[in-house]
A = this chain, B = another copy of it.
């Protein structure tokens, strides 16, 4: 179910993708760097995308510990900061972007896995908030997460703009309090 040098292969995969991006990631390169033969990699993963997917799932690189600051606002802010950090630091940024590229372009790759996994763990934040009475149980937590995470992706990756110091605070403020639109229905 796994090649003998799985760890070396995954490390090489992530190193290369971090260094050269998704296009610069080649099976041959991974084989070279991990001291394994090309055919061994093909024996276990059918494509570059699948290999990267497997490496990401096993990697602690994209791991995520849901913050627990005592308040929903604090937790969400911490979450936004964590995503921002992930997408700002060169090594993880490249990996995250590559993951996106791979996921988006290869339907055979279960792109949902990354996000579903992560979202499952984020649920805690909202469960605690509901328990504390901070959040209406009817609220859809995924909407909040998507609004916030999406904003970071758009700003940092799509727009390639740096985040302002209080981006996290403002964004969380917007989704929790609204921006104050006079025509509230």
Contacts and interface: CB of A to CB of B under 8 A. Distances in A.
A170 B184 CA distance: 13
Contacts of A112: 159-161
Contacts of A72: 181, 183
Contact of A139 (B155, B171, B179): B179
A136 B170 CA distance: 14
Given A176-B179, A176-B181, A149 B154 contact: yes
Contacts of A175: 147, 174-175, 178-179
Interface residues of A, number: 60
Nearest to A111: B160
A104 interface: yes
Interface of A is mostly: helix
Interface string A151-185: 11111011111000001001101111111111111
A116 interface: yes
A184 B180 contact: no
Interface stretch (A4-12, A30-38, A58-66, A95-103): A95-103
B146 A154 contact: yes
A134 interface: yes
A140 B169 CA distance: 13
Interface of A: 21-23, 71-73, 97-98, 100-101, 103-105, 111-112, 115-116, 119, 129, 133-136, 139-140, 142-155, 157-161, 167, 170-171, 173-185
Ranked 7 nearest A-B pairs via Cβ: A150-B150, A178-B178, A177-B178, A176-B181, A146-B151, A150-B154, A146-B154
